A and B are shown apart, each in its own frame.
Chain A
Amino acid sequence: MNIAVLLRAVPDPVEELELNEDETDLDRDYLGYVLNEFDDHALEEALLLKEEVGGTVTVLGLGTADEVDQMLYTAVAKGADGAERLGSDLGPLDAHSQAGLFVEALRQGGYDLVLSGVQASDELDGQVGMLVAAGLDLPHVSVVVATTPADGALRVTKEYWGGITADYDIRLPAVLGIQAARQAPRYVAVARIRQAQESDSLTEIDVDPPAPSSGLRVTAVRIPEAGEGAAMIEGDEEAAADRIVEILAAAGVG
């Protein structure tokens, strides 16, 4: 099975996030970026599938941040067979633009399966996994928590609310939005990452910076103000529900 995994860099909240001058975006001048946690799970699931059924894992990243190369090399060190970085110095991209670039590259790849994290913290205009599936006209299942290879197809477990999950048997090729891999993302030693950095495993692909295509225009960004206090609600469900209704009514809701 030839699997592609989409890796995205998102703002690192270890920094104190500040707004730009006209308060329409984060101040990105000194922002650090990290791998989207859900994409790390997508990579882990892909590596587990490769260990089970053979094939290749290729990771794709967008040249939106300096940290992207390190993310791609780390993936190779963990067991990905190759890495592609699409573009460089692209700056922040909305989900539609990201999906557009991924779709172009994925069309060339002939992949049986595309995995991405189910969501990312900077997706304002939809989820990249879904947009990629639509762009490739492929089936898509989101919020996947496990995959099981089955006779040329794939059984995927999708998580719903209230502890409910459902299994889907899907024909490949397909796109999945991974909520969690079957196990926590594996560790890879720094020595192996450095080895990957010295190898020839990263391919840089030129792309034109896409024009924003989502139709979404951000007019203002605000940093949430911390409220005060918390009310602990005691009692059984009936009593708790009554109390919650009271609180909401007092706050003018409903």
Chain B
Amino acid sequence: MTRPVSPKVDPGDVLEHEEYVLEGMDISGHWNRMFEQRVIVDYDVAQLDRVTDVEGGESMGWCYQCAQCIAVCPVDHVGDYGPRKIYRKLQIGYDLFTDPDLWLCTTCINCLRVCPKEVDMLQIMPAVRKEAVLAGDVPGELQDVFEKTARYGNPLGKNPKRRIAWTKGLEVEVPIIADLDRKVDVLWWVSDYPSYHPRGMEASRCLARILTHLGVDFAVLGAEERHDGDSMLRAGEQGLFEMLADQNIETLNQYEFDVLLTTDPHAYNAFLHEYPERGGAYDVLHYSRFLADRIAGLGLSEEIAKTITFHDPCYLGRHNGEYEAPRDLIEALPGADFVEMWRIRENGYCCGGGGGGMWLDGLAADHQSMRLSEKRVLEAVETGADTLCVVCPYEVSRFEDAVKSTNNDGALEVLDVAELLARAMGLPTD
């Protein structure tokens, strides 16, 4: 399913025919396909064909090597990467199915945004990865995460029963929907890192307090919730994604709720685009949008004397077009100064966590001069900000590690927007 980020051609103006021959020339099919290889040298394109023959890999063959993608590829900024480079290497005969290049793409789709030929890495890389996974060719770190996710329903390999442990001792109530036995307005899909990672758990506790303050009728699934599967799908484990999605849909369809509220942009993406065709169609909102629509009710009264910059998460911003909600929230913080980095909104620079990148740090280290998250932290520090605000649960741990590894410990604090809002509302933040 192709979702061009900013279509270059109005589909209404394009005439496409499954079969069309004009003045002896066969121009059947997709308007953007290549008719022939450019013949500068006669390449044996067998390896390229192996990619374009995979369902989902077709658009790799449309590249005409303009290199717009290389300028915006976050991995190329710290290494040697991008769709055009992959196309070139395929042309001269490398095997993408077994090359480390297969695993470096974070599916941030900044390339697709600028590609005049709509070469879609969001389709290509997962499709080729799927074949590699079926053949058992998976980097060891990722194998471990696939196995943990399949067994425990979360990539951290934590006990599923402890998914609700973050609510222990919390002074506000976080009801489990199975216990309520009634319809709720909002079912909050907490996700794995906000349930199990210490920094995620702190942000969840803040969000629970905020929702309570707003008087929202909400509940969570608790131990029944499993990983949404979106990142597993992008990393090539389609079978695992399907297993998780089907389990989650079966769970969700037992309950009645108006809104499915997500903490994680990756879960948001899955519920919007992947779950409906499997029988799970819900009214899904990201918590930044939910809160931004209720700013007046938050009661932001405490001074936040910070200079804050914001990181656009790929799966909320570029993938799904939400750039304003988190900014509205930050700008509503009393006393806070908001400064923008230079790669923002549609051109946001990826933190490196998407597409399985969260669990491929070892592989990335062998092919990059620094982590994407470190590159981004340096960019944040350049703005003069003392705070980096995030709204995706992958980011807080990535950026906090990067702050330390770039020797900026003490210079830049990484905080979820929920933590900043709770502070401004005079609520506890532990």
Q: Please give the residue numbers on chain A whose beta carbons come within 8 Å of chain B beta carbons, in ascending order.
A: 14-16, 34, 184, 186-194
Contact = CB atoms under 8 A, between A and B. Distances in A.
B150 A190 contact: yes
Contact of B151 (A15, A34, A184): A34
B239 A187 contact: no
Contact of A14 (B138, B152, B243): B152
Given A189-B237, A190-B150, A194-B243, A14 B136 contact: no
A190 B161 CA distance: 23
Interface in B199-255: 237-240, 242-243
Given A14-B157, A192-B134, A184 B140 contact: yes
B134 A189 contact: yes
Contact of A191 (B152, B157, B238): B238
B159 A187 contact: no
A244 B71 CA distance: 60
B399 interface: no
B193 to A, nearest CB: 17
Contact residues of A: prevailing secondary structure: loop
18 contacts: A14-B158, A14-B159, A184-B140, A186-B136, A187-B133, A187-B146, A187-B147, A189-B134, A189-B136, A190-B146, A190-B237, A190-B239, A190-B240, A191-B238, A191-B239, A192-B134, A193-B239, A194-B243
Given A16-B159, A190-B242, A190-B243, 6 more contacts: A15-B159, A15-B161, A187-B136, A187-B143, A189-B240, A192-B134
Contacts of B151: 34
Interface string B268-312: 000000000000000000000000000000000000000000000
Nearest to A184: B140
Interface string B120-157: 00000000000001101010100100110011100001
Interface in B60-83: none
Contacts of B134: 189, 191-192
Contacts, number: 39
Contacts of B157: 14
Nearest to B137: A187
Nearest to A79: B136
B162 to A, nearest CB: 9
A188 B239 CA distance: 11
Contacts of A190: 146, 150, 237, 239-240, 242-243
B356 to A, nearest CB: 13
Interface residues of B, number: 21
A252 B158 CA distance: 40
Interface in B2-36: none
A207 to B, nearest CB: 27
A189 B152 contact: no
Q: Identify the interface centre among A34, A184, A186, A188: most chain B CB within 10 Å of its CB.
A: A188
Q: Which 10 A-B pairs have the closest CB atoms?
A: A191-B239, A190-B239, A190-B240, A187-B143, A187-B138, A189-B133, A14-B159, A186-B136, A189-B134, A187-B136
Contact residues of B: prevailing secondary structure: helix
B239 A189 contact: yes
Nearest to B244: A190
Nearest to B146: A187
Contacts of A184: 140
B239 A194 contact: yes
Contacts of B158: 14
Q: Identify the interface centre among A34, A188, A190, A191: most chain B CB within 10 Å of its CB.
A: A190
A192 B150 CA distance: 13
A15 B151 CA distance: 13
A126 B134 CA distance: 38
Interface string B23-58: 000000000000000000000000000000000000
Q: Identify the interface centre among A16, A188, A189: most chain B CB within 10 Å of its CB.
A: A189
Contacts of B147: 187
B136 A188 contact: yes
A197 to B, nearest CB: 11
Contacts of A186: 136
Contacts of B146: 187, 190
Contacts of A188: 136
Nearest to B147: A187
A167 to B, nearest CB: 28
A83 B260 CA distance: 43
Q: Identify the interface centre among A15, A34, A184, A191: most chain B CB within 10 Å of its CB.
A: A191
Contacts of B152: 14
B165 to A, nearest CB: 11
A188 B240 CA distance: 11
B31 to A, nearest CB: 33
A184 to B, nearest CB: 6
A193 B240 CA distance: 10
A188 B135 CA distance: 8
A188 B146 CA distance: 10
B167 to A, nearest CB: 18
A56 B147 CA distance: 26
A186 B147 CA distance: 11
A89 B140 CA distance: 35
A191 B158 CA distance: 23
A87 B143 CA distance: 31
Contacts of A187: 133, 136, 138, 143, 146-147
Nearest to A34: B151
B54 to A, nearest CB: 15
A241 B10 CA distance: 79
B386 to A, nearest CB: 37
Nearest to A191: B239
